[in-house]
Amino acid sequence: MTAVPVIAVDVMGCRGDVRPAVEGAAGVSLQTDIQMILVGSAPRVQATLEQTAYNPEQIDIVDAGDDPLGVSDPPDRALARSSRCSISVATDLVAAGSASTLVSAGNGPALWQLCVSRLALANGVRRAAVGAVFPRHVEEQDADPLGLILDVGATVRCDAADLLQFAQLGSAYVACVSNVAAPRVGLLNMASRKEAGGEVLTAAHRRLENDRGLNFTGNVEGHELISGVADVVVCEGLLGNVVLKMLHGLAAIAVDLTGAAARRNWRWRAGMAMLGSGVESRTPMVEYVAYAGAPILGFSAIPIYCDPASPARALGNAIKLAAKVHRELSSGDAGGGAQRASN
């Protein structure tokens, strides 16, 4: 039997507001058997907890002061203020084995640097990667509406071996999270031809094609990204980061346009009202950032990063996701895919 996962939750991440993370964790404590360590300002966490329904048997609190790292603070600050910085204390709990993994909605670059400096790489992994989820079109009712793209900024320039390993890590992760036995893997490129994109991408294509453990579907072009042709899209950090931010921008524009249309005249407003529940059901697709956590793959634990604007429900989902990944991977082979790459 797999041990119950213990998730360290950086509760100061949501721009210093402890409520979303504490309420999210409290909800999880009533629905699951997951153990959580809430890291942050203990008095504020306790005060918030006592105002919500929770199960104390699954929640512990570790004090980390009341001066959270800002979202735009330099990551070095997290390393310098180790004992008084929630994101740093949470990472240390994982490194010390007191927690299985962590969830944070704080400073992304700081979380990455802390993982690099405090957590060991999984067996056989050369480089860790930062993943991100993106919305995509799916035909099947029960298919996951979110795809995984990696790397989105950890390794700016990659070689073919890195890309192969990212594909293996991403494939193993999606297989466990989405219950897709053989996730489709695509290589983000400028054309569908094998030779497109230069030397590194051509070599990466060849290696991906030859890896029998992967369900490689070929190159994925920009316009195909959201059409659902692949469950996992791999690319170097620079390109992934640009794509991710462009998707965020487009999502924000879509939300703005809808709001502006509704304000413009009463007919459109009436139309929007009639579409109300339909629009609401698709909201997670447009505001997907706030509904899904993104994994950092390649370390001995898989931290989940959430957007700082995440509501309680999103943080609760992220905690469940972290626990699910830990359970699945600790019962199977966490770095199995990566191990093959190193051989």
Partner 1 sequence: MSRRLPRRRTFRWDLDKTYLNTEFESLRGLVRIPFETASDKRAAPGVATVIRGLRTSAERRGIEVRVRFVSGSPPQIGKAILEKLEMDGIEHDGVTFKDQLGRLRRGKFRDLREQVGYKLTELLRDRRNEPAGTEEFLFGDDWESDPLIYSIYADVLSGDVGAAELERILRELHVDPELAVLADELSAHLRRERSVRRIFVNLARRTPPRRLAPYGPRLVPSFNYLQTAACLFDDGVLDAPFVADVASVMMDEHGYDSRRLVNSLRDIERRKQLSESGAAVLAAHLSRSDLLPSASEGRTAWRDLWQRAQRRVWGGPGRPATGKADYGRLIPGLSEGLAAAAQVALD
Binding site for partner 1 (CB under 8 A): 4, 6, 30, 35, 42, 46-47, 50-61
Listed in sequence order, the DSSP H helices in the chain are 19-31, 42-49, 76-80, 86-95, 108-118, 160-177, 199-210, 237-264, 266-274, 276-286, 312-331, 336-342
> Quick one: 35 or 88, whose CB is closer to partner 1?
35
Q: How far is the CB of 97 from partner 1 (least distance, A)?
A: 14
Q: How far is the CB of 48 from partner 1 (least distance, A)?
A: 10
Quick check: helix, strand or coil at residue 297? strand
Quick check: helix, strand or coil at residue 304? strand
Q: If you write DSSP's letter for every residue of 4-70 in order, what string do you get?
A: PPEEEEETTTTTT--HHHHHHHHHHHHHS--EEEEEE-HHHHHHHHTTS---GGGEEEEE--S-PPP
How many Cα atoms sit within 13 Å of 339 on the Cβ side? 8
> Quick one: 42 or 143, whose CB is closer to partner 1?
42
> Quick one: 54 or 216, whose CB is closer to partner 1?
54
Cis amide linkage into residue 67, ω under 30° from 0: no
CA gap 176, 328 in Å, rounded: 6
Q: How far is the CB of 154 from partner 1 (least distance, A)?
A: 33
Q: How far is the CB of 58 from partner 1 (least distance, A)?
A: 7
Q: How far is the CB of 212 from partner 1 (least distance, A)?
A: 42
Q: How far is the CB of 43 from partner 1 (least distance, A)?
A: 9
Q: How far is the CB of 39 from partner 1 (least distance, A)?
A: 14
Q: How far is the CB of 52 from partner 1 (least distance, A)?
A: 5
Structure tokens at 123: 């067996």
> Quick one: 1 or 181, whose CB is closer to partner 1?
1
Residues with Cβ < 8 Å from 11, sequence gap 6 or more?
Answer: 18, 21, 22, 25, 38, 39, 40, 45, 86
Distance of CA 85 to CAs 59, 91, 111, 296, Å?
Answer: 20, 10, 11, 20
Q: How far is the CB of 53 from partner 1 (least distance, A)?
A: 4
CA gap 74, 234 in Å, rounded: 27
> Quick one: 57 or 142, whose CB is closer to partner 1?
57
> Quick one: 26 or 214, whose CB is closer to partner 1?
26
> Quick one: 30 or 191, whose CB is closer to partner 1?
30
Radius of gyration of the chain (CA): 20
Residue type, position 233, single letter: V
CA gap 9, 330 in Å, rounded: 20
Structure tokens at 315: 């943080």
> Quick one: 64 or 208, whose CB is closer to partner 1?
64
Taking the chain, what is the end-to-end CA distance rounded to the nearest angstrom? Answer: 30
> Quick one: 60 or 333, whose CB is closer to partner 1?
60
CA gap 183, 24 in Å, rounded: 29
